[in-house]
Amino acid sequence: MGMEQGHKYEKVTIITVVYNAVNTIEGTILSVINQTYKNLQYIIIDGGSTDGTLNIIEKYQNRIDLFVSEPDNGIGDGFNKGISMATGEWIGMINADDWYAVDAVENIMKGISNDDFVCCGNIRLIGANGIERDKKSKVSWLNFGMYIMHPSCFVRRSVYMQVGQYDIGLRIAMDFDMFLRIKRFGYHIRHVDKIVAYMRMGGVSNDTVKMHREELRVMKRHLRGVDYLLSWAFNYLNRLRWRYFYKDPLREPINLQS
């Protein structure tokens, strides 16, 4: 039953974690405060920015419900702080290099039922060279890596209270660890087939060598038997592909010579 058929108008908390993102934070903020879905709480967790980010955030302080700026232990720590402050039934996370589609929250809330606890949508990747590519969340691929697009994810606050915090010892794969935990707790992840968010290439998760290493650590932590063996083999082949064969067009410079 979607929102239009009687799904209650639940509060949604949006958390933005930011550190020194003066060139992109304004677009992220605007994408949240201009959502067509209005029952929102907006929280910004800043890691102690020194580049002018705080000046931009202050411009919108009357549209931001909670704002904290202090040194932290990375992105996962910021997520955890935001979750601890959240009062919404649902929690979404959009970081300072990314932004939401204007109807992102509305489409998610329309696409879920009262029986759903975790959901995800699709994202559009934006390369520095201007090339764009849509990526669908692949829920059935979760054992093999973070094939669920984290900026498109919304999770009931009660789920986070049950499964625990993001692992601050992971610098990239903390979202993969979280969603494998959610899966192990038996939650079904609903896929809403809509573009929910836009992601710029170039963030911390673009270090593919470190990403694959951390994902392997997470696989060892959560998977057993055949599931682990298959995931290990997939991870190994993926590392070879990225190292020797694959050239991501979003990371390739454009040849402007005619």
Helix or strand holding residue 100 (H, E): strand 98-100
Look at residue 251 and tell me whether its pLDDT is greater than 60: no
Q: Would you state the pLDDT for residue 241?
A: 87
Q: Would you state the pLDDT for residue 127?
A: 87
Residue 243 is assigned to a structural domain of this protein: no
Q: If you average pLDDT over residues 228-250, what whole number do you get? A: 85
Residue 88 is assigned to a structural domain of this protein: yes
Q: How is residue 247 written in tokens? A: 């050239």
- Between vectors from CA 181 to CA 196 and to CA 81, what angle results, nearest 5°? 65
Q: Could you give the CA distance from residue 176 to residue 52 in angstroms, rounded to a whole number?
A: 31
Q: Would you state the pLDDT for residue 202?
A: 66
CATH number of the domain where residue 185 is located:
3.90.550.10
Confidence of residue 129 (pLDDT cuts 50, 70, 90): confident
Residue 132 is assigned to a structural domain of this protein: yes
Q: Would you state the pLDDT for residue 243?
A: 81
Which of 146-150, 239-243, 254-258 has the highest mean predicted lDDT (pLDDT)? 146-150
Between strands 132-136 and 98-100, the pairing is: unpaired
Look at residue 19 and tell me whether its pLDDT is greater than 50: yes
Q: If you average pLDDT over residues 174-184, what whole number do you get? A: 98
Residue 34 is assigned to a structural domain of this protein: yes
Average pLDDT over the chain reads: 92
Look at residue 145 and tell me whether its pLDDT is greater than 90: yes
Q: If you average pLDDT over residues 90-95, what whole number do you get? A: 98
Look at residue 206 and tell me whether its pLDDT is greater than 80: no
Q: Would you state the pLDDT for residue 208?
A: 83
Look at residue 209 and tell me whether its pLDDT is greater than 90: no
Give which of 254, 167, 173 is closest to 209, Cα–Cα. Answer: 173
Q: Would you state the pLDDT for residue 2?
A: 46
Q: Would you state the pLDDT for residue 6?
A: 42
Q: Would you state the pLDDT for residue 250?
A: 60
49-71 pLDDT, tens digit each:
999 999 999 999 999 999 999 99
Q: Would you state the pLDDT for residue 116?
A: 97
Residue 216 is assigned to a structural domain of this protein: no
Tell me how many domains the chain contains. Answer: 1
Confidence of residue 258 (pLDDT cuts 50, 70, 90): very low
Structural domain of 97: 3-204
Residue 192 is assigned to a structural domain of this protein: yes
Instruction: Pick 86 or 131 by higher pLDDT.
Output: 86
Q: Could you give the CA distance from residue 231 to residue 216 in angstroms, rounded to a whole number?
A: 8
Question: What is the pTM (predicted TM-score) of this model?
Answer: 0.91
Q: If you average pLDDT over residues 108-118, what whole number do you get? A: 96
